[in-house]
Amino acid sequence: MRLQLVLASSLIALGASPGVSAAAPLQQVDMSFSQKNVDFLPLDAAVDGGYFKQHGIDANVRYLPAQEGIPALVAGQVQLAGIGGSDAVSAEAAGTKLKLLMSFSPINIFSFWARPKYASANALKGNRVGITSATGSLYTATLLALKALGLKTSDVVITPLGGIVNVNNSLIAGSIVAAASHPPATYRFKRAGFVNLVDLVKKKIPSVSSGLWAPAAYISTHRATVQNVVDALAETLHRMRTDRAFAESEISKRLGIKDKGELDFTYDFYANDIFSLGAMPEVAQIESDKEWLAPTNPKVKTVNVADMIDQSFLKNVPKEFQK
């Protein structure tokens, strides 16, 4: 009895109540992201900056292309995933119930670049245009760009290449003649003399170029955990918007960029044009992605976009971190 009293007194002195651990164990959460680019960098930055741990999350973050990340979500191998709206809508049309919790990139972030010899609608005809896949955000951007140029998809040779790094490298190498992309790759395109044919960023077209998604079933049973994840990522995004040194160190570490000009170019683009827009998920963002998928995937037409949005978690975040 005396020993129990001593232990209880010690817990109280430490600010904990008897029978409660002074340091609650971290909740393990497995997450994935579908592209190795700045759009999904907040997930890794939240690990490096310690924000997940501050909010009680032991985060295991890994790269999985959307074609692997969505099945991993369905199987419970990951609980949350960073994917684009086009991939999420395609998954929803196939029966996977997903909710958008945050939009890391709430507009279409791409511009459409061509090698100088092919820098016109006429010159592009019959030539290879690179995409990642026929469901991703880059594909949607490519369709928008072709339409702006007065071209149909049948006018060019649409070529799936997997990850966006493959697309960028293929354009630089000349195995494709045009592609949609964004910084940091477009810094190299510009220096190489490539031509920006269609700048979709200036149009501010709503889109989920990258966002945080979770299965509806997981959310219903793990609301506190999901809230902690969103809290951590909201703080991380705020830090990336306001702390150039931190953001550029993350870009350099995770993407291997050492050139200061390329780092500044990339940071300025995301801090000023993308992350500054806030992360609140909106129906219009997914609706835009759905619109461009419907002609090639009839099942997409039945998707109820409003059911794919959950704003409640970001609304619970302190106001200073909501944007």
**Beta strands at 111-114 and 178-181: parallel, antiparallel or unpaired:** antiparallel
Do 103 and 210 share a domain, yes or no? Answer: yes
Do 269 and 213 share a domain, yes or no? Answer: yes
Do 91 and 231 share a domain, yes or no? Answer: yes
Do 316 and 170 share a domain, yes or no? Answer: no
Q: Quick one: how far is CA 190 from the chain centroid?
A: 24
The CATH number of the domain holding residue 150 is 3.40.190.10
Contact 194, 114 (CB under 8 A): yes
Residue 237 located in a structural domain: yes
Please report, in tens digits, the pLDDT of each residue of the chain (323 residues total): 444 444 344 433 444 333 334 467 999 999 999 988 999 999 999 999 999 999 999 999 999 988 898 999 989 999 999 999 988 998 999 999 999 999 999 999 999 999 999 999 999 999 999 998 887 788 889 999 999 999 999 999 999 998 888 999 999 999 999 999 999 999 999 999 999 999 999 999 999 989 999 999 999 999 999 999 999 999 999 999 999 999 999 999 999 999 999 999 999 999 999 999 999 999 999 998 888 788 878 899 999 999 999 999 999 999 888 77
Residue 195 located in a structural domain: yes
Do 282 and 236 share a domain, yes or no? Answer: yes
Last residue of a domain, one of 153, 169, 199: 199
Residue 300 structural domain: 25-107+206-321
Asked if the bond preceding 184 is cis, omega within 30° of 0, the reply is: yes
Which among 99, 94, 101 has a CA at the least distance from the CA of 67? 94
For the chain, what percentages of helix, strand and coil (3-state, to nearest 5) are there?
Answer: 55, 20, 30
Residue 11 located in a structural domain: no
Do 195 and 279 share a domain, yes or no? Answer: no
Do 180 and 39 share a domain, yes or no? Answer: no
Residue 9 located in a structural domain: no
Residue 2 located in a structural domain: no
Do 234 and 99 share a domain, yes or no? Answer: yes
The total number of structural domains that make up the chain: 2
Do 253 and 297 share a domain, yes or no? Answer: yes
Do 123 and 186 share a domain, yes or no? Answer: yes
Do 92 and 220 share a domain, yes or no? Answer: yes
Do 102 and 234 share a domain, yes or no? Answer: yes
